[in-house]
Amino acid sequence: MTNDLSIWGLIIDASWLVKFVLISLFIVSIVSWVIAFKRIKFLGLAKRSAVEFEERFWSGTDLSRLYVQTNTAPNTSSGQENIFRAGFKEFARLRQNKNTDAEAVMEGTQRVMRVALLREQEKLEAHLSFLATVGSTSPYLGLFGTVWGIMTSFIALANEKQATISVVAPHIAEALIATAMGLFAAIPAVIFYNRFSSQVDSMLITYDSFSDEFSSILHRKAHQVSAA
């Protein structure tokens, strides 16, 4: 072991397994931050798009005209717009068959909207499982590196004639770097996961509410046509 007691010097002197743990934790930490920045951008855009589409939807525009507009220039970032397009397309297709009653039309329409909602949920929850995995496993991986480093340090100390604090301290510090790196990777991942999970749940509630309200409007239209 060298006399360099800096963090970098301790990392250089660490065993190969501890170095592997440190490199792995550093890589997953970088990936977590990249995912976090992408999720912040995606969820922010999805929220703004939802507000914009709701304003258009409740502005009193005819649904057929709104469908043509959204189909001509689709905004794929808007989950509600995607649900609207899928639902209205199926509603119009089923309504063309005059032998199909209103309940059958609504059943098919709602089924398509549920599928569209599940697709939007997959988009919103993308990569959240990775952040959860990093947040839950990184401390244990760092602890494993620490345990291995301390174990090898004590084995090396067996060859020393006199084990003073100046001899033991560098080995312990070297091993504890792995724990610190594990926490460094885990804490931001947990924070991001909790924040994104809360935002996703809020967005899904908004999408689900819109789907129910849109179904109610289509339900009235379907029965008006049947009555006519």
Short-list 41, 42, 48, 37, CA closest to 81: 48
Residue 110, pLDDT above cutoff 60? yes
Query: Does residue 105 form part of some domain?
Result: yes
Give burial (CB, 10 Å; 0-12/13-18/19+) of 152: middle
Q: What is the pLDDT of residue 133?
A: 94
Question: Going by C-beta distance under 8 Å and a sequence separation of 6 or more, which residues neighbour residue 50?
Answer: 78, 79, 80, 203, 206, 207
Q: What is the pLDDT of residue 153?
A: 73
Rounded to the nearest 10 degrees, the angle between the axes of helix 165-227 and helix 128-157 is 170
H or E element in which residue 88 lies: helix 79-95
Q: What percentage of residues in the chain have a pLDDT greater than 90?
A: 48
Its domain, for residue 131, covers 21-145+175-227
Local confidence band at 168 (pLDDT 50, 70, 90 cut-offs): low
Range from 88-92, 168-172, 217-221, 223-227 that averages highest in pLDDT: 88-92
pLDDT tens, position by position, 137-163: 999 999 988 888 788 777 767 766 666
Query: Does residue 182 form part of some domain?
Result: yes
Query: Does residue 85 form part of some domain?
Result: yes
When mean pLDDT is compared across 12-21, 50-59, 131-140, the lowest value belongs to 12-21
Token pair of 127 as six digits: 């990569």
Q: Which is higher by pLDDT, 21 or 207?
A: 207
Distance (Å, rounded) from C-alpha 31 to C-alpha 127? 10
Token pair of 76 as six digits: 């794929």
Query: Does residue 130 form part of some domain?
Result: yes
Query: Does residue 191 form part of some domain?
Result: yes
Query: Does residue 54 form part of some domain?
Result: yes
Mean pLDDT of 3-31: 77
Q: What angle do CA 73, 224, 85 make, to 5 degrees?
A: 20
Q: What is the pLDDT of residue 11?
A: 64
Helix (H, G, I), strand (E, B) or coil at 116: helix
In total, how many domains does the chain have? 1
Which residue's structure tokens are 């039309």?
105
Mean pLDDT of 24-44: 94
